[in-house]
Structure 1
Amino acid sequence: MRDYYTLKINLPGGIVSPGTLQNVLRAVRDANGRQIRFGSRQQLLLTVHYEDLRALEKTLKTQPIHYEVNTDQHPNLISSYCGEDVFRTGVWLRESEYHTVLDQFEEPPRLKVNLSDSNQSFTPFFTGNLNFIASPEPHFWYLYVRPKQSNTVFRWPDLIYTNDLGRLAKAVETVLLERWGQGETAFDEAALYAAVTGTQRFITQPATQEVELPEFSLPYYEGFNRYGQRSWLGLYRRDEQFSVDFLLDVCALCLKTRIGEICVTPWKSLIVKGIEEQDRAGWSYVLGKHNINVRHAANELAWQTEDHTDEGLRLKNDVIRYFEKHDMRTFGLCFGVQTRPKSEVFGSVLVRKRPLIQLGQLALFSVYDLYFTENFNPNSRTYFRFEKGLLKIFLPNQIDRLCRKFSARRWLENGKALRVESEQPETGPETPGCVHQCPYCLTVYDPVYGDDRRGISAGVPFAALPADYTCPTCDALKSEMQEVSLAMITTD
């Protein structure tokens, strides 16, 4: 008999109400659970001892909560809703449209379904089997189909209307699983389209061109950040484990301050939106009470590891230590670690473990292959091998080489613009002025402009700012802001 089981609770679209999460967490605590984690498909994961499993299941069955134990027959439906308002500026896709679509899935899908705004790069576009992407035409969606155990992506000939999306997803799923579920016959795009549209009618428009996706740039998703008149809080844990007691306090504060949703991201982190200015002190108290750090380096946040295993996480931590020691630049890249052959992770740089010698199910010796995606875009389905058969000890150095290759490529692509800019005659003083920059979010305080948000008028030097002045974006302390030359200012 197993000592421990993995229990999974899907959070459709990566959205959960504080009340629902609070009920789950209380049941987990009553079953002697102290830590939970979130998966790359925005689901809640828990390791529970077999002696406590029956009591936990009994409690969960009294609530409308779908869960699975040691299986993944119903992958979570993921969405880019977690970045809504805070990371993108789309035209028509808003909160109401997301909820309209999610409400159409009365039964958990058996295939991976992704819902994405085309104007963001925070969540993956093509990691699902059914990938719906908002089109420029209001309330219509592209559909890209990727059969199970396949890397081939097929664009649906039509744009699908929002109110028909769930019904079409169900029809496509049924045909895919019945005809090509086992991968025994070659996938036929025309046959799939004919089988789905031959018996049902949907509101559609012709899809005359491929979807236009933005250049990848992973936003910094941790800490306090302002948007409009409110703030959002990103929560990341280095070991991917969240304390049940901490999350219960988060839920309680959300309920107290009338925040109706908590968002889970594909990066195994949380985002709480809609924090009012008068409630910031309460959030700071909860973070301090549980000793939660929200100042991790961006290159540590840009990783995706597999669920249900810590092996990829340990490898990530080894590479991160190398990054820190050598002060490496990784801006514009994200990294994935794949230690199992059938798992899937999201990344522009991919580390794949494979056995060098295998006897049956026993791998006697393992090595690592290093890949990068086409144009270093993690949404590409095309991989190029950079190095193969690496020992673990040599892996960080080869990732360093690949990062330098990426940076050199970006420099060459932008070199012309940089040279032209450097040749422009200077109209200002010969010696550029100095400003102070936040080392975390890169916000700049320039005395020429002051800080309108904090009531600081133009012309006030940095030294004259109050001692309790903080970064207007992420609330870093004044003492942490660094003096830099205006000519050398960091903008990325």
Structure 2
Amino acid sequence: MDEKETYCIKVNLPGGVVSAGDLYELLLIAENAGSQSIRIGNRQQLFFCIDASQLEDLEMDMLRAEISYEIDEDEFPNIISSYVTDAIFNTESWMKEGVYKDIFDLFNFKPRLKVNLVDQHQTFVPFFSGNFNFITSTVSNYWHLYIRFPKTTDIYCWPSLVYSDDIPVLSRITEKTIMDHKALFYDRQKINHQKFHNLVIAQQALVTQPITEALKLPEFQLPYYEGFNRYANNKHWLGIYRRNELFPLEFMKDICTICLKNRIGQVYTTPWKSLLIKGISESNRKDWGIILNKYRINVRHASNELNWQLENLNSESLELKRQLVREFEEYDLRTHRLCFAIKMQPKTGLTGAIIIKKKEPGVFDILHTRDFNPNSKDDVIYKEKVPITNLGQCLIELCNYFYGILINDNIVLSVTEKEAEEKPGKEAPPVYQCKNCFSIYDQTYGDAVNNVAPGVDFESLANYSCPICESSKSSFNRIEKSFNPNPLN
């Protein structure tokens, strides 16, 4: 190991939450190993880099502190959750702090596949970026489960609701089933969902409820997650974003010190690689202002700089983001309700309404999710093989297109510019939505998974099944849409 110059240390924070005391101890270990800053990952984990000569001492310190970590590896992805949103970005759910903690405590193993625990009433934490995506239902303490099989886009909707206490054991069993049967369920073009379900339920009796109401994806809104913000009981929360993704250790140590002084027990990390502190009283707000001033921390970045998902520790994607943000700023581009993902590697699991995917050096494909909702499970190709020099202009055109398309019942429905020009005010072809997984069939695009060409009317399809959950054609409900020549009025 000592042949390398530096090592990257990864520490998982289950659910994106850590006590201020535990974080301070970790910061001291990183500092003693010669690190000067930490990074937050898009699965709410922490990273820091050390010189190879410090590795042995760091390993001893981590052992004494009983901190689990990985070196230049990500064999055990962090469990991510929407815990950070509780009480500030959503208040209407039955999902509260105690439920999150109880579930975390029941995980007696380290998952090798990605687990997401997400409240359906928020859109700050992505819904389907994990392999096991648990999403709250309308029934208290019960969850929808969507399984995305590893290295595939195949998503299986578990046919019953899952009880909160069963989430850890079901995660362990489903992971073991997949890993023990890789030839069937890992990096496969076609997955036999029924066989998978039978293998899982044969191993453990679970507490379940029937699905009586399908999951409804909320309209995507990315809240402004920086600065001081007031919420319940006259408290404030503070969001901190770093343009270069680096949080200085000295600054972080002072953050922990103020938390401990003011009896703020927890610090939160977010999938947007930012830091969040809740429970700041009005009387103590001055202390936080002093620290921000001391380290010259800016908490008023433009919204179109905050709405990006990037791969971890990837300088190429960070530099591309900076270039594109500069172009957006110069154009004064509106990006409200949009977020962007830059994928330099295939199958990264990043989500975005608009996706910039590296095709080859200096060349990118541009895609967007159906309806421009980053929690949608379908991608639509916008432009292929775009040179990096033209990327900004193409993205500006796509953003402008987004604001020019129809908005109906708070759902953005994708139509082509040509159709909008040719048929203003006329009735548009309907779309059809699966009542079980909310996948949409739109004849504008057809269905590549089922080899249905664009332009084919849904009613003319025989023996059609949902490409996501394999529900029959009868499970689809018709949704009307109409063209509006002035969609923003």
Tell me the TM-score range normalised by the shorter chain: 0.7 to 0.9
Using the alignment, how far apart are the partners of 2:198 and 2:56 within structure 1? Answer: 46
The residue matched to 1:103 in structure 2 has which SS? helix
**Match 1:279 to one of 266, 277, 284:** 284
Structure 2 matches for 1:189-338, cutoff 5 A? Answer: 189-228=193-232, 229-338=234-343
Q: CA deviation at 1:366?
A: 3.4
**Structure 2 residue identity aligned to 1:252:** T
The residue matched to 2:362 in structure 1 has which SS? strand
Conserved 8 A contact 1:90-1:117: no
Closer, same or farther: CA 184–406 of 1 in aligned 2, 3 Å: closer
Conserved 8 A contact 2:149-2:186: no
Conserved 8 A contact 1:13-1:102: yes
Counterpart position of 2:105: 103
Give the TM-score of the pair, scaled to structure 2.
0.81
Q: CA deviation at 1:186?
A: 4.1
Q: CA deviation at 1:221?
A: 0.3
Closer, same or farther: CA 182–156 of 1 in aligned 2, 3 Å: closer
Using the alignment, how far apart are the partners of 2:52 and 2:354 within structure 1? Answer: 38
Conserved 8 A contact 2:367-2:382: yes
Q: CA deviation at 1:199?
A: 2.8
**Structure 1 residue identity aligned to 2:298:** N
Using the alignment, how far apart are the partners of 2:341 and 2:168 within structure 1? Answer: 30
Conserved 8 A contact 1:306-1:344: no
Give the TM-score of the pair, scaled to structure 1.
0.81
Q: CA deviation at 1:109?
A: 0.8
Q: Deviations over 1:349-384 (max 9, x none)?
A: 0001122xxxxxxxxx43111110000010112111
After alignment, is 87-96 or 178-187 more displaced? 178-187
Structure 2 matches for 1:11-410, cutoff 5 A? Answer: 11-180=13-182, 182-183=186-187, 186-228=190-232, 229-355=234-360, 365-410=361-406
Query: Please, what is the CA RMSD of the aligned residues?
Result: 1.7
Using the alignment, how far apart are the partners of 1:65 and 1:282 within structure 2? Answer: 30
Counterpart position of 2:458: none
Q: Deviations over 1:103-142 (max 9, x none)?
A: 1112211110000000000000000000000100001011
The residue matched to 2:10 in structure 1 has which SS? strand
**Structure 2 residue identity aligned to 1:272:** I
Using the alignment, how far apart are the partners of 2:315 and 2:212 within structure 1? Answer: 44
Q: CA deviation at 1:209?
A: 4.3
The residue matched to 1:27 in structure 2 has which SS? helix
Conserved 8 A contact 2:13-2:45: yes
Using the alignment, how far apart are the partners of 2:187 and 2:128 within structure 1? Answer: 19
The residue matched to 2:162 in structure 1 has which SS? strand
Closer, same or farther: CA 68–409 of 1 in aligned 2, 3 Å: same
The residue matched to 2:209 in structure 1 has which SS? strand
Conserved 8 A contact 2:229-2:237: yes
Q: CA deviation at 1:411?
A: 6.2
**Structure 1 residue identity aligned to 2:179:** L
The residue matched to 1:62 in structure 2 has which SS? helix
Q: CA deviation at 1:413?
A: 7.6
After alignment, is 386-395 or 262-271 more displaced? 386-395
Q: CA deviation at 1:10?
A: 0.2
Using the alignment, how far apart are the partners of 1:300 and 1:231 within structure 2? Answer: 23
Using the alignment, how far apart are the partners of 1:184 and 1:134 within structure 2? Answer: 28
**Structure 2 residue identity aligned to 1:7:** I
Q: CA deviation at 1:278?
A: 0.7
Using the alignment, how far apart are the partners of 1:412 and 1:155 within structure 2? Answer: 27
**Structure 2 residue identity aligned to 1:3:** E
Using the alignment, how far apart are the partners of 1:157 and 1:344 within structure 2? Answer: 24
Conserved 8 A contact 1:74-1:111: yes
Closer, same or farther: CA 410–60 of 1 in aligned 2, 3 Å: farther
Closer, same or farther: CA 397–54 of 1 in aligned 2, 3 Å: same
**Structure 2 residue identity aligned to 1:401:** E
Structure number with larger C-alpha Rg: 1
Q: CA deviation at 1:410?
A: 4.9
**Deviation above 4 Å: which 4+ runs of structure 1?**
410-414
The residue matched to 1:337 in structure 2 has which SS? strand
The percentage of counterpart residues that share the same residue type is 40
Conserved 8 A contact 1:14-1:265: yes
Q: CA deviation at 1:166?
A: 1.0
**Structure 1 residue identity aligned to 2:256:** C
The residue matched to 1:7 in structure 2 has which SS? strand
**Structure 1 residue identity aligned to 2:124:** F
**Structure 2 residue identity aligned to 1:85:** A
